[in-house]
Chain A
Amino acid sequence: MRLVVSFACGLVFAVGLAIAGMTNPAKVVGFLDVTGAWDPTLAFVMAGALGVYAVAWRFRRGLAAPVLGGAFPPRPGAIDARLLVGAAIFGIGWGISGYCPGPAVVSATVVPPAAAFVLAMLAGMALVDRIDPVLRATRLQPARES
């Protein structure tokens, strides 16, 4: 059942991204470039998503555990240089291409440039996993749940 829910959530997530305009990288760059012909509509995507999720997070407080078992995410840690450096690098790639991971995966089997982007993204992730001592250490720990 957890797997069915995971699939269904991925499906709805993808439909939302496409309806929202996030699978149109030129539109995303038009949103990020505030100095040009700025297209502010993508701010509404974030507002809609945040609004619904914030309600769900409040609702979560009334639950001891997720409906299908497991555990809720741990409390977030402190802000550190690693977080900001990673986010800065990610933003540059996002601003160049108009693709962030979600819309890129959704578009990968539809638009060939997105497929190239996703392959490079997977290579980047695998590279960090291989050489980054922090991620290597977490991989040796047991999974949070089975």
Chain B
Amino acid sequence: MFQALFGGMLIGLAAAGLLLGTGRVAGVSGITGGALAPRRGDWAWRACFLAGLVAGGLVMVRVVPGAFGTIPRTLPALVVAGLLVGVGTRIGGGCTSGHGVCGIGRGSPRSIAATATFMLTGAAAAFGVNHLLGGVL
């Protein structure tokens, strides 16, 4: 529990640093999507943030290897899930970080509505896989 709280505070701190330093919203789907379809002068900071994410993963797998788990999902299930996440975040303008942390953290009604929605459908999908499909997909 304290670990979750501490990790969460680090996430908040990183997002706060990006906001106060550069004015940017630390939404991973938005940063990634914007890097895929870049506008002039708007690509480098996105690439640097994403490189930081990847570097952080490479550091953490050496420090705390157990932090990275897997889940019993077939490759087609992961691909479909990835497609849904890519399409949904692009249409909905954000994900857990952009809407869930940065948006709610600034009191945005849009982000509160989006977060409530994806928590609800996420819970429904998790329920479906765990209880209707026996936890494997």
Contact = CB atoms under 8 A, between A and B. Distances in A.
Do A and B originate from a single complex? yes
A49 B129 CA distance: 28
A9 B122 contact: no
A34 B97 CA distance: 21
B54 A106 contact: yes
Q: Is chain A's interface secondary structure helix, strand, loop, or mixed overall?
A: helix
B62 to A, nearest CB: 10
A118 B50 contact: no
Contacts of B87: 86, 89, 124-125, 127-128
Contacts of A86: 87-93, 114
Interface residues of B, number: 112
Contacts, number: 501
B contact face: mostly helix, strand, loop, or mixed: helix
A66 B19 contact: yes
B90 A18 contact: no
B105 to A, nearest CB: 3
B85 A124 contact: yes
A128 B90 contact: yes
Contacts of A123: 82-83, 86
Contacts of A43: 4
Contacts of B81: 92-94, 96-97, 99, 117, 120
B82 A60 contact: no
Given A56-B16, A110-B68, A118-B82, A48 B9 contact: yes
Contacts of A135: 37, 90
Cβ-closest 10 pairs across A and B:
A10-B52, A124-B86, A14-B56, A86-B92, A20-B7, A48-B8, A95-B125, A120-B82, A52-B12, A16-B10
19 contacts: A11-B53, A13-B15, A33-B127, A35-B131, A49-B9, A52-B8, A53-B15, A66-B20, A73-B25, A87-B99, A91-B118, A92-B121, A97-B77, A99-B82, A102-B53, A105-B28, A122-B32, A127-B87, A135-B90
Interface of A: 2-27, 29, 32-36, 41-57, 59-60, 63, 65-73, 76-79, 82-102, 104-111, 113, 116-129, 132, 135, 139, 141-146
